[in-house]
Structures are given as structure tokens and as C-alpha cells.
Amino acid sequence: MLDLKFVRENPEIVKQNIKNKFQDNKLALVDEVIELAKISSETQQEADALRADRNKISKQIGALMAQGKREEADEMKKLVTDESERLEKLQEKEAELQEKIKHIMMTLPNIIDKSVPIGKDDSENVEVQRYGEPVVPDFDIPYHTEIMERLSGIDLDSARKVAGNGFYYLMGDIARLHSAVISYARDFMIERGFTYCIPPYMIRSDVVTGVMSFAEMDAMMYKIEGEDLYLIGTSEHSMIGKFIDTINPEESLPYTLTSYSPCFRKEKGAHGLEERGVYRIHQFEKQEMIVVCKPEDSMFWFEKLWQNTVDLFRTLDIPVRTLECCSGDLADLKVKSIDVEAWSPRQKKYFEVGSCSNLGDAQARRLKIRVVGESGKYFAHTLNNTVVAPPRMLIAFLENNLMADGTIAIPEALQPYMGSKKFIGTK
């Protein structure tokens, strides 16, 4: 969420940012919120004047009563009553205006970083760098669910009967591989100095609206019927929410945390052939990383966060590339974002396995995550990034480590988490 003062003082910058994100339908909101803020200020000034006048009259009533001038005092009391009714109406108007202002401010997109490429959608994202050599073996690679089924590692039919589409049973060594990847990712991040955390898997609505835009909320979140609780779509939600309404000593920053959680997502809409199977599902598990830091340090941490994901995938012999998200592909709260994509030998292309985002002070402003230092109080910056998210990561793992005889080679880094096994399947 932007600072209202910034919007009032820099309307053209805000409008150009909206144009850069190809959200021209929001341009009128800038002038509207500035006008609402003006009316709100005038209403507040009128209310303050009434309060001051009422206090003044109340003192006069006391003085008249002390002098025995009851009739004059009663007349003054009628004036106080009239002003109280007027003040009540002004307070209602003020509350209504503030609610409208808040809604618009939470709709306006954050100011993107100058380095972000301008583009309409993800088709215009820009490749930054490749890590590892993409290999296409000289044998056919089956679809990932076929690989799992050959290894008795997945049961989609039973899952459909139990929960519907978008769910699965992982079985045997594939289920063990799933857990091994999560455990390895946890320890990988701990070794890089991050504090491990298991957060709540449900959060209240004030946290939801603090960490994401209304559009994201509608497309992603599952609401618990009859309660002010939502299932998290990623542990970033509850991890950032951990700092809601806090004042943090500057010297305690940065907070660097890595968290495990199951994730629940609606995943509305059709997604295409390559997103069947277990690529896009309603329930999965993920290891996440978040940082809460000083504004001047956020770009430093942004670079470190996506590099962590690249490094982890390379230790598992999976080629990856980084992709700079263009302006139109950025969610409204994001300042800058880089996707990490893994190589798919079967598709002969890369696909997304993680996303690193710098949100500036947008989440902190909504959630009141403040920092106090020598220069006073200010809002922190927040960042998040996927460490690893099976089963999508398993797709990349299985395709890149599939052998010609149908077995799956287990990279050395992961073998301790798999009971020292070097292969899955018959060798």
C-alpha cells in the first residue's frame, strides 16, 4: 500500500506506474482518492472545531451554574446538544470517507523498481541467467505422473474419490523423496543462517489483506466457514503476519526466517495441458524464506534470496535459469520479482519452481510493521522466496535424474535423507 501523502504529492508518478502495469482502469482512482482525502481533511477540521467549541461551551455552562444562572445554562446546554448531533454526523462521514480511502489505497499498485522491464504479461518476462547445462537424453522421458506410477509412487484415482481433482496420494519411495527434499531444503537454509520456523496454517482476515491484494485473495484463499480464518496459500502469509503491529529495534534487523508448511490454493481457472498431473494442485508442501529488513538493505537481500534457490537446485543436479518478471506480471504489492525456473528435459523448456519478491514497505505499511532507530520510526521492508515446493520440484527432479533403465538417480547431497539410497527403482 502506498503512502497517501506520496500519492497526493506525486499523482503523475502514481499514474505512470499504473500505466506501466497496464492497469489503466485504475487511473481514475488516483484523482478520486486525492479528492476524498481533501474532503476527509475538511470534515476532520470541522469536527475538531466543533469539539473545541463544545468544550468551551461546557466550561461556560459550569461557570453559569456556579453563578446561579440556570436559565442561561440551560440555553447553552441546548447548543451543546445540537453540536453533539452535528459532531456525530461528521464522525460518521469521516469514518465512511476513511473506509473508501483505505479501499482505494489497497487497490493502487505499489511503485515498481526502475530496473523492472515494462511488459504486459509473463510472455514478456526477461531471462537473466542460466545455471547448469540443459540436457535432453537420447531416450524418451514419460510424463511425470507416469514415472511416479511406474515406481508405485502416486495414486491419483483414489485421491479423486476422496477429495476430487487437484489432490494426490504419494506413496513409497516417491513420498519419501518428497519428505527428503523438504528436509534437505530446511537444513540447507539453516546452514545459511536462517532461523527455522513452523507457523500457523490458518490466519485471520486482517493478516490476509495485509500480505496480498484483493485479486490474489479471491483467486487463492480458502475461507473457513463461520470463522474469521483462512487456510494459508504459502507460509509467507503467516510468517510476515508474525510481525503485525510491532515496533522493532533497528539493531535487531534483519529477521531471516525459513519456514515449512502445507499450502492450500483454489487455483481458479484452466491452466493448460502441462499443468495437469501434480503441477498445479490445491494442496502441497513448501519450504519458504522471508526477510524483514531496513529499506536500504532490501535489494541486497533480494539478490541473496533468489541465489539460495538457484544454489539448492544445482546441488541436486537440476539446471535452472532466472527470469526477471516484467511490470504487467508483478502482483500489485511487489516492487521487483525474479522467478527461478527448472529445466524440463521432456518438454525441452524451463518451467517455474520458485518466485522471489521484494515488496518494499507495502506489507509493512498494511500490517504496521515498524522499525525504531536513531532517525525515528519507519516501515520495514519485507521479502519472500520459495526455497523448494514439492511436488512441482519433484517433476524437475524426476525428469533430470531419470536413467535409461527407468530408475531415478539420487544426488549425493540428498542420499543421507533417503537412507543412503543411490537409486529409486530396480537397478
Query: Which domains, and CATH codes, for the chain?
Result: 4-105 (1.10.287.40), 122-424 (3.30.930.10)
Helices and strands in the chain: count of H runs, count of E runs: 13, 18
Q: What is the mean pLDDT of residues 33-41?
A: 96
Helix, strand or coil, per DSSP, at residue 422: coil
* Residue carrying C-alpha cell 518451467: 351
The predicted pLDDT at position 73 comes to: 66
Compute, in degrees rounded to 10, the torsion defined by CA atoms 57, 58, 63, 69. Answer: 80
Query: Of 110, 115, 22, which is closest to residue 333 (Cα–Cα)?
Result: 110
Average pLDDT of the chain to the nearest whole number: 92
- The pTM for the full model equals 0.89
Q: Look at 348 and 54; give whichever has higher pLDDT.
A: 348
Strand partners, 352: 341
Give the model confidence (pLDDT) of 209-250 as tens digits: 999 987 788 888 999 999 999 999 999 999 999 999 999 999
The predicted pLDDT at position 290 comes to: 98
| Residue 256 backbone zone (phi > 0: left; psi -120 to 50: alpha; other: beta) | beta
The predicted pLDDT at position 273 comes to: 41
Phi, psi values for residue 131, rounded to 5°:
-130, 120
Residue 77, pLDDT above cutoff 80: no
- Evaluate whether 272 touches 122 at the Cβ level (below 8 Å): no
Q: What span, in angstroms and rounded, lies between the C-alpha atoms of 205 and 228?
A: 6
Q: What is the mean pLDDT of residues 367-383?
A: 96
Percentage of the chain beyond pLDDT 90 is 81
Q: Look at 404 and 61; give whichever has higher pLDDT.
A: 404
Q: What is the mean pLDDT of residues 351-357?
A: 96
Q: Look at 27 and 54; give whichever has higher pLDDT.
A: 27
The predicted pLDDT at position 47 comes to: 86
The predicted pLDDT at position 51 comes to: 79
Q: What span, in angstroms and rounded, lies between the C-alpha atoms of 91 and 81?
A: 15
* Contacts within 8 Å (CB) and 24+ apart, 6-15: 7/33, 7/34, 7/105, 7/108, 8/34, 8/37, 13/111, 14/108, 14/111
Give the model confidence (pLDDT) of 134-189 as tens digits: 999 999 999 999 999 999 999 999 999 999 988 999 999 999 999 999 999 999 99
Strand partners, 414: none
Give the model confidence (pLDDT) of 91-125 as tens digits: 899 999 999 999 999 999 999 999 999 999 999 99
Give the model confidence (pLDDT) of 287-311 as tens digits: 999 999 999 999 999 999 999 999 9
